[in-house]
Structure 1
Amino acid sequence: MSFFEAPSGQIPPPVPQRGRRASRVLFLISAVLAVAFLGTFYLDELPLPVRTWVAESVPAARGLVGIPPDPEAEVADLAERMQLTAEGRLIFYDAEPAIVDGADIARICTDGEELPGGLYHAGCYLGTDRIFLLREPRTPVLVTTAAHELLHAVYRRMDDAERARADALVTVEMARVPSSDPVHAQIEASVGDNSSARPDERFAYLGSQIVLDGGFASELETLYARYFEDRTSLASASSRY
């Protein structure tokens, strides 16, 4: 860098710092874009209470922190009847549950197959992470179905290690369920020809419908308790369909 001395008594005017200001503006813009970009990956991993607070404070940021929109009134009522925890409610709403009539259930959930023994499709959980429920006049059935489909959404969100542990716990408890219990037929009807679906169906049916003397193993009850405040009450009130 070269320096030149100004002629005596002549001090040149300061050079405008346009380049420096432009650099600062560019830096700020880049920083904002970086935060926004990284936020789409990390903000939804913040603790749920923090994300809930952000969503309530800045409604426009709900999607950024992984908090779904407020549901319709009848869906919110179902969540209350299931006695969901904050985590359970978040997953339930995130799956955008829709309560529809029989024609829609047949179109969305059945693929035209018929179920044995007078069973019928009361709802389904799709691979697109959507829950559909039959508009059922018997409220206990609707609540049980909603809890069942929610547990499918829970199972999908587990990683491989969590799923393997849940499968092992459920297998032990299923062996304690009397062979005469209708849940066995329900599971087999839901599994159909897709045997790989059996662990998922067992997890959902067991958690939403079965109460055993002495309860499940504490580890499994603790797992279900992440989503239901009173699973025993929920399952005891279930109406077998």
Structure 2
Amino acid sequence: MPERVPAETDVSGPLAGIATGALRKAIRSQAGAARGYVRKLRQSHPDESPALIRERLDSRFLAAVTASGAAVGATAAVPGVGTVIAFGAIGAESLVFIEAAAFYTLAVAEVHGIDVKLGEHEELLVMTVMLGASGTAILANAVSTNGGASAGGALAGRSLGLPGLKEVNRRMVSRFARKFAVKRATLAMGKLAPAGIGAAVGGWGNRRLGRTVVSAAATTFGTPPDSWPAT
């Protein structure tokens, strides 16, 4: 049975607004680019299956977020860079992570043939993946509650047309604002460490968060299809 997820309390204030606003902006700006990127990968590697293209997306996402974390960690530790400026760089890199995760999730949806035309469904899938195990638990509970427990297929496909989508998204946003802020704050302190250490912590921390995203995507979207649909 899906994990029982307690009701979320409402989260208000600047943190929730910034995190949610950045996420929604990333989804709007990355949706078309993600679909186009998958098409280019397929053109460049015409003999590769959806599973192999998915592996490429996984590895490139992890490489990108690891590099950005290491770069910011190194910059923050440069002598003469003030703490305020360093935190500003870390904050900007957090937004880059959100955009990268949104791009990756929507690209994976394209590989799996999940047509997310509605903004709310795009938002649901991206937040599910970014939240990791807690996000997939919320989505599984919502699908089960609405009669999808016995339906076949992965969570992403079974969530299409899910009733009460706004309420599910509200709960996702509530948890996203808190969980993401805590994780990034913890990493921020490590990135402010002396040169070398900050870069290592930044790269390692971002890669760890990235692996959580990749693992949640595997749970949400399931096994890639055996072949591409006929066009």
Q: TM-score, normalised by structure 2?
A: 0.24
Q: TM-score, normalised by structure 1?
A: 0.23
| Structure possessing the higher relative contact order (Cα contacts under 8 Å, 6 or more residues apart) | 2
**In proportion to residue count, which structure has more strand?**
1
**In proportion to residue count, which structure has more helix?**
2
Question: Which entry has the higher C-alpha Rg, 1 or 2?
Answer: 1
